[in-house]
Structure 1
Amino acid sequence: MFKHFLKPARVSAVFLLSCLAASIACASEKTSYPDAAASDPAKMGWMVGAPPPPDRIVRFADGSYFQFPAMRWSVSNFRQLMPTTNVSRGLGAPVPLARALRTDIDGLTFVPLGSKQPMTWEQSLAANYTDGIVVLHRGKIIYERYFGVLNPEGQHGAMSMTKSVVGTMGAMLVADGTLDANKKIAEYVPELAKSAFGNATLRQVLDMTTGLKYSEDYADPNAEVWKHAQAGNPLPKPKDYTGPQSYMEYLQTVEPEGEHGEAFAYKTVNTDVLGWVIARATGRNVAQLLSEKIWQRIGAEQSAYFTVDSIGTPFAGGGLNTGLRDMARFGEMIRNNGQYLGQQIVPKAVVDDIRGGGDKAAFAKAGYDLLKGASYRDMWWVTHNADGAFMARGVYGQRTYIDPKAEMVIVRYASNPIASNSANDPVTIPAFEALAKQLISHPD
């Protein structure tokens, strides 16, 4: 993926930040990659053997874990590569998801955007380098597949779907009065008073309408993304390094550009700031709060985990890793207006706020051609389509798609060689919409 235009040293530094952007440099889209079958990490034998052959070893320090096709192994094994912190599921027994598998899904056909050639649902899985996918309908598993090295017992990087989870927790704290969406960030984190975030409101951070001098252009060696990445790298810094030593230190250096509140601009540092605000307001970091407020209450099968920086700060912008079914449980809870297993886990008002969406005009200024008419609210992507669908999105093809009208939740984990969702959206969007239509017309 980025190996075509990034130096190895920088590749190693970038990952904790690269699990972030929905809008990323797309130069690599012109590159030809091995297909899903040819790049299958199980068949390629990454990290198999005692020790593995030299050409099948994947390391964090040298950046090899971030290069395609080795990346297809890495996304299901981050805990083996870097420091992490746990999101405990608690000590109670998991609550199984009911199953009612359907046989009419693999053959479902649709036409990808910009194409005239029909594709089947099953073909779309390979086209998007799917590692695992589960579909819930009315709370029951109707479809579940795993590929490569991911299995039901495994965990996978959620990438920027993490933002929607953290955004939900932020919105919960607004709903219960712990946070005030109209207050300035500096009122919660005085250390950010002199940064671009100081005079931004919490609402502007939640909806990413902050005016920041921050480029995520990976092709530009001088882009701010590299400084953020270096600060968040958990490995020891070079002896001559004099920059920020952690995510929190870096956030204090972000400068303003433009006006807050005028336009949507997807920048991961907003979620890092939200994570800091949450920690300061509650005394618990995002991993601890996620465990307490949600993970211990949804009957999760597995504990989740976050990647962390050198001082143990969870990467709020993209560091969450979960089991596939557990992310589906989270999505189903949101679909059910925050209710799950007889509990009101997330206030209904929070889900209503998310589903209502954000400022469409502000979102339109960002130029997402395949998401026209959409908006962004509480770090969720809201389509405003006829079904009222909304979603969490992450680079390399991660998706949690909630369609209220179809009573459907889809969670897909993937390892697409191209980071930007613009590479998989032409297949993903019509595939998910076609399945929703099928479930509406043939619910049983």
Structure 2
Amino acid sequence: MKSNPLRAGAFSALAFMLAGNAIAVEPSPVQATGVINQEFGVDASNWDIAPFNAFTFTQTERIFPTLLISPGEQPFAPLSYAANQLDLALLMVTDPATGKSVSADTLLSDRIRNSGLMLIHKGQVIHESYRNGLRRDVRHIGMSASKSFIGMLTQIAMQKDLLDEDDLVSKYVPEVRGKMAWADVTVRHVLDMRDGMKFVEDYEDPNSDVRRQDRAIGWRARQDGDPKGLRDFVRQNLNEKSYPAGKVFNYASIQTDILGMVIEGASGESLEDFFEAEFWSRLGAEFPAGMGTDGFGQPIVQGTISLTLPDLARTAMLILNKGQNHRGEQIVSQDFFEDLLTPNKELSDAFAYYDPDASFAHYRSQFWVNDTWNKQFLMNGVHGQIAFFDYERDFAMVGFGSYPVAVSPLLTASLFALLEAVLTELDEAASSDNRH
């Protein structure tokens, strides 16, 4: 697919081809009609809510136009499976809702509403399971777990000296140029969601900033008078600050899309081409990834990246290897991942406004850092999309879900109850091996 000539970078695909990465981004053959199931009234007004999300999260190409990101011509990275698989039907866990002991498999299906799960330990898959009709070759939307891909992609742009974290966002995004609120906002501020912009991310309020943005980008059906696409929304909004830049962590999905615009402005390439050439085609992916757009050619990367569970596992392995792929190539710098887990008072103070009880947590470069002390962090998306990493144990848990509501303390508690049970099982197995 040719890049949109109205966007920066329409003429430099040759540079990527000379670098050995043929551009092969193509539009999905599935037409985005805004309707998934006409008989049962599943459309752009309700596709992401229960009970429909159990099957719609694999059919988002019918909601918003989607670009298919090629895995490239290199052989995909084979997954290694441990001889002894972890049977979640035999692993017991305490259900946070009832306090009763249930199998991890029951917790996954009945409480977490998981659609697919893979556990990775020391470079091998120790568990793989699918529910709700998901298969290993079917893409599932990543929701806000998508954001971490853009954090890594921004780092790649910095590695290539295309931009600096201290650069002003307005240098690359003309839609915010000249706005006083953006006069001191840097790329680093946006990476860490400490930009200070006034933006309300309330999924239950149909008139909140995030829901108005959803209509503008086609996530929800547009209404008369709504901005036409992402860039028009940014041009008309984001004009005020709630906090000084750098002071407070304020989660705002729109900022990930701003980062995508920064990458385009800095690289002179479309975001989809840059993502394919610099990350996806080098990951060792087995299948194409999907990247949703706003219907006007602009990628929406705050939550529309879709991928298969095995390719999410390959992403997890790259992260566990601190940015190195299966061929030993350093895709994302090792320093990036070490920086994520470095205790940082400025970050923890900013995060305290969001969660005063999270002593060792912060948000860095589009990743949630759960515990710097124990080197645990995650990619996290609504409805149960997750990729959890534990560097000390060389462990990752990746999963897709269709929890009935977007955000829930019970969902979070259930996921961490599952994690605790799995990690305890691994620790006990390691202790037993050491005794023998």
Asked whether the equivalents of residues 208 and 270 of structure 1 are also in contact (C-alpha less than 8 Å), the reply is: yes
- 2:219 and 2:374 map into 1 onto residues whose CA distance is 42
Q: 2:325 aligns with which of 340, 354, 362?
A: 340
Q: State the Cα deviation string for residues 241-283 of structure 1 (Å, max 9, x = none).
A: 3342111121122122221111111101111110100011112
User: Matched residues, percent identical?
Assistant: 27
Amino acid at match of 2:349: A
8 Å CA contact 1:162–1:320 kept in 2: the answer is: yes
Q: Structure 1 202/53 Cα, relative in aligned 2: closer, same or farther at 3 Å?
A: closer
> 2:112 touches 2:401 (CA, 8 Å); kept in 1?
yes
| Match in the other structure for 1:33 | none
Q: Which runs of 5+ in 1 are unaligned?
A: 1-51
Q: Which residue of 1 aligns with 2:308?
A: 323
Q: Secondary structure at the match of 1:242?
A: coil
Cα distance, 1:421–1:329 mapped onto 2, change above 3 Å: farther
Alignment-derived partner of residue 62 in structure 2? 80
2:96/2:410 contact within 8 Å kept:
no
Identify which of 124, 132, 144 aligns with 1:160.
Answer: 144
Distance 2:159 2:342 in 1: 15
Q: Could you report, residue by residue, the CA deviation over 1:65-123 in whole angstroms, capped at 9, with x for unpaired residues?
A: 23311121110111233310111101233222011141454422333558643343212
Q: 1:158 to 1:237 in 2, by over 3 A?
A: closer
Q: TM-score, normalised by structure 2?
A: 0.83
The alignment status of 1:259 with 2:247, answered yes or no, reads no
* 2:70 and 2:289 in contact (8 A); partners too: yes
Please give the TM-score of this superposition, normalised by the length of structure 1: 0.81
d(CA) in 2 for partners of 1:76, 1:298? 22
1:292 to 249, 256, 277: 277
What is the aligned counterpart of 1:177 among 157, 161, 186? 161
State the distance in 2 between where 1:217 and 1:151 align: 32
CA distance in 1: counterparts of 2:64 and 2:192, whole angstroms: 30
What root-mean-square deviation, in Å, do the aligned CA atoms of Structure 1 and Structure 2 show? Answer: 2.3
**SS in structure 1 opposite 2:416?**
helix
SS, match of residue 42 in structure 2: coil
1:57 to partner: Cα distance:
5.8
Matches within 5 A, 1:179-218: 179-195=163-179, 196-218=181-203
Of residues 366, 370, 375, the one that matches 2:354 is 366
- Choose from 411, 416, 421 the match for 1:434: 421
Partner of 1:294, secondary structure, is: helix
Tell which deviates more after alignment, 199-208 or 179-188. 179-188
In structure 2, the partner of 1:229 is: 214
What is the alpha-carbon distance in structure 2 between the residues aligned to residue 395 and residue 67 of structure 1?
A: 11
Q: Take 2:48 and 2:407, find their aligned partners in 1: how far apart are those partners?
A: 15
Q: Which residue of 1 aligns with 2:340?
A: 354
User: Does 2:365 align with 1:378?
Assistant: yes
Provide closer, same or farther for how the CA distance between residues 285 and 326 of structure 1 changes in structure 2, counting only shifts above 3 A: same
Aligned to 2:233: 250
Q: Which moved more, 1:304-313 or 1:116-125?
A: 116-125
The verdict on how the C-alpha distance between 1:146 and 1:357 changes in structure 2, with shifts beyond 3 A counting, is farther
Asked if 2 retains the 8 angstrom alpha-carbon contact of 1:387 and 1:403, the reply is yes
- In 2, Cα distance between the equivalents of 1:391 and 1:140? 19
Tell me the SS of whatever aligns to 2:73: coil
CA distance in 2, matches of 1:86, 1:137: 30
Residue 412 (structure 2) aligns with: 425
2:135 maps to a residue whose letter is: N
| Structure 2 match to 1:68 | 50
Shift, 1:237, TM fit: 5.1
Q: Report the residue type matching 2:351 in the other structure.
A: F
Q: Residue 291 of structure 1 aligns to a residue in which SS?
A: helix
CA shift in 2, pair 1:228/1:442, >3 Å = same
Evaluate the alpha carbon distance shift between residue 235 and residue 209 of structure 1 in structure 2; reply closer, same or farther with a 3 A threshold. closer
Alignment partners' CA distance in 2, 1:70 and 1:87: 26
| Matched-pair contact (CA < 8 Å) for 2:95–2:107 | no
- Equivalent position amino acid for 1:303 in 2: P
Q: Which amino acid aligns with 1:232?
A: I
Q: Is the 8 A contact 1:397 1:421 kept in 2?
A: no
Distance 1:331 1:368 in 2: 29
The DSSP-based 3-state class of the residue aligned with 2:211 is helix
Contact 1:391 1:401 (8 Å CA) reproduced: yes
Aligned counterpart, 1:93: 75
Size of the aligned set, in residue pairs, is 388
Following TM superposition, by how much is the alpha carbon of 1:53 offset from its aligned partner in structure 2, in angstroms?
A: 8.8
Separation in 1 of the partners of 2:226 and 2:62? 27
Q: Deviation of residue 421 (structure 1)?
A: 4.6
Within a 5 Å distance, the mapping from 1:121-160 to structure 2 comes to 121-126=104-109, 127-160=111-144
Shift in alpha-carbon separation, 1:344–1:318, aligned structure 2, 3 A:
same
User: Quick one: distance in 2 between partners of 1:178 and 1:353?
Assistant: 20
Map Cα deviations across residues 262-307 of structure 1 (whole Å, 9 max, x no partner).
1111101111110100011112233222211221122211010111
CA contact (8 A) 1:129 1:414 kept: yes
Give the whole-Å Cα distance in 2 for the aligned partners of 1:242 and 1:116: 49
SS in 1 for 2:316: helix
Does the aligned pair in 1 maintain the 2:348–2:359 contact within 8 Å?
no
Counterpart Cα distance in 2 of 1:364 and 1:108:
35
After superposition, the Cα gap between the structure-2 partners of 1:139 and 1:59, relative to the gap in structure 1 and judged at 3 Å, is: same
Q: Is the 8 A contact 2:165 2:188 kept in 1?
A: yes
Match of 1:394 among 381, 385, 388: 381
Q: Which amino acid aligns with 2:355?
A: G
